[in-house]
Amino acid sequence: MSKVIIGLAGLLLGAVVVQFYLAAVGAFDPAPTEEAFQPHRVLGYSILALAVVVTLVAAVARMPGRLIGTAGLLVGLVLVQALIRQVAASFGDASAVGPFVFGLHAVNGLLIMGVIEMIMRQARQVSQKAAEPTHVAS
């Protein structure tokens, strides 16, 4: 089951890379509007759903608590992405604080990538331990 988690985490990592690309496409649109960021938003919700799936698979497969916790952290960080957007928007366009807060959206995206890498590494360790032969004392 750890190989499934590794595969799902790899898919998540690829989705986050695409997410950065879609954010840039929206930001550098000649007239950035909400519609320009729609693909970024849709993929963000898909990333959240996939992060929840990774957490559930890890829990159902009775993976080590650290791996389940790291997967839960990923879900939390993805939820924080939407929170950052809302907080930044609440400052309005006239405030200099809004863009500063919204910059945390990209920083949090980098944290998300790091946590996904941690999940992959932890799942690989579980997979390697399962593959090691057990020695029985004679």
For the chain (length 138 residues), average pLDDT per consecutive 10? 94 97 89 84 96 97 96 98 93 85 95 98 89 66
- Contact present, 98 and 91 (Cβ < 8 Å): yes
Cα torsion for 117, 115, 48, 83, to the nearest 10°? Answer: -150
What pLDDT is stored for residue 98 in this prediction? 87
Distances (CA, A) of 13 to 19, 54, 94, 107, 110: 10, 12, 35, 15, 11
The number of residues in the chain equals 138
What pLDDT is stored for residue 137 in this prediction? 65
Interatomic CA distance for residues 85 and 91, integer angstroms? 10
Q: Which CATH class is domain 2-131?
A: mainly alpha
What pLDDT is stored for residue 77 in this prediction? 98
What pLDDT is stored for residue 129 in this prediction? 83
**This model's pTM is above 0.85:** yes
Angle at 86 between CA 85 and CA 91, to 5 degrees: 100
Burial 111-131 (b: 16+ CB within 10 A, else e): ebbebbebbbebbeebeeeee
Q: Tell me the residue type at 136.
A: V
